[in-house]
Structure 1
Amino acid sequence: MTPAHRSFAPSSAHPLARRRLLTATAALSGAALLGGTAHAAEKPTWPAAFPLPAGWQPEGITIGSRPYAYFGSLAHGDIYRADLATGRGTVLSTGLGAGHPTVGLKVDPYGRLFLSGGDSGELRTADGRTGGIEKVYAVGGTFVNDVVLTPGAAWFTDTYKAVLYKLVLGRRGAPRDVETVPLGGDWVQGDGFTANGIERTPDGSALLVVNTVADGGGLMRVDPRTGAARAVDLGTARLPNGDGLLLLGRTLYAVQQAQNAIDVFRLNASGTRGTAITRITDPRFRIPTTAAAWGRRVYLPNARFDVEQPQPDTEYDAVAVRQV
């Protein structure tokens, strides 16, 4: 697909649903299956908030090895790229239109974007430099929600199915075939919205998946070889509105979108146990959904799921908070 590039600059306005269905990240490091990478620090003059295009309906965010954030659109699947130093951006990629949203997304070290297609049931890959769609994988998903990258695969959650989709990666991250991995063990699949954000354990041995149903909402540690899930011990903490996950070292940021908060945990190396550190709230939060890091900041899109009928002129923005 031929990408469209439309310039967009911050305005003087400060833009301020719950996802119609309810509805991060550090770059890959070395050969560890699941780890995080630090970035060069941002300058104090970089904006701590900047607008996204009107009517955008953002949900996912990803930041790679350079200070640019990519945002998907639930409305039409387009991709917007913003310069974190200025807050200015362009529409990098024209999506496949209504019915083909971009929900979660990640960029790999080679500049390739991996896109979750929501209720289109698709996985997609795109060129992060030109925005061109490379390939569409019709996996028959119900709501392909979020994605995390490991050296050997891109892993996608499905909100209404007890499965993960594994897009196998070859040399230099080249996508190959898709495998469906059933979730078992302690996994509890609700009648409605269940799986959401996905991350990696600090030691790289397993995956972490938000389950909004099990025991009032929490995390499942999933063996990527078998799909066997075990509940992560978070003490008394619960994630009933858990959305995007961001792992920095052993610190896990879990966005609780409907609560306008980020709950922060300290994990053990294997990701079997987490201790609540703090909750981050901010008056600028307007139903944030996912998170990505640059320097000492965590960036989040405000999805504004409280707006029942988004319009073409509905305002959206992204905000940054300091890391714990």
Structure 2
Amino acid sequence: MTSSALALAKPHARRRLRTGQWQGLLYIAPAMALVIVFFLIPVLFTAWMSLHNWPLLGQPTWIGLGNYIRMLSDNRFFAALGFTAYYTVITTIVIFVVAFPLALFVEQQRRGVAFYRTVFFLPVVVGLATASLLWVWLANVDSGLFGPAIRMLGLSEKKVNLLANFDSAFATIVVMVVWKIAGFTMIILLTGLQSIPTELTEAARIDGAKRWQRFRYLTLPLMRRTIALALILSVTGSVLAFDQFYIMTSGGPQNRMISVVYFIFNQSFVSFQLGYGSALSIVLLGILVLLSVVQLRLLRVGDEK
């Protein structure tokens, strides 16, 4: 090709490239509009509100970082943050302890495996608020099923109110959440198990590797990305927990079950301190962004090798 032909071809190539870029922007424009309208603008407005004393009625007044400074001395906020961290750790561990064996069980080709997968996943389709109301009824002292079952097993001679004290109420909520969420985590882990080439498993079995050795040195390393994804989804969901505490215990007993989101709800829509609630929301968003960064880091570990 002559130099003149190359000179004529370059502008056409640039035009095609620009056309392709504009077409790509056109395709993603609806999604961008949704993100801007329903995420970016509300976040910016929330950040603006956090810099004001913003009552429900009346004129907002500028206080700068006053809400954030107030937050540093608010023991109730740190108590909610500590409880949320405690709940997140316990719930995440229990979910994985339950979901991983379930995933290993339904991954095997056996009779009725489709039925088992459906049964284990079925609670996921129930809304969290609905599940909370269901378990409130199950734990009811007079009409519930848990109390009579406990007396039938001889664990107690009196009527048992599982939601009356912190330990039993916390355990009840954790069990409910695990019952509700474990099936979803199981499906995520199942996809990771099914992505492991059967040739590797068969080769390890032929080489004499025991079941635990195959699990420890083959299954877990190959599922690193899947486990990281399931872990971060579980942690993020636990940090944003609200429905179960609001419906099942109303933050009690003795206000010991107030999560961060519940605390933000109280400050914003019970005490009507919208500015302070906005500042708390921005801090929570920062925590979630940090968790997202950790997620990306976990997913990229080993990719450079």
TM-score, with length taken from structure 2: 0.23
Larger RCO, structure (CA 8 Å, separation 6 or more): 2
Q: Which structure is higher in helix share?
A: 2
Q: Which has the higher strand share?
A: 1
TM-score, normalised relative to structure 1 = 0.22
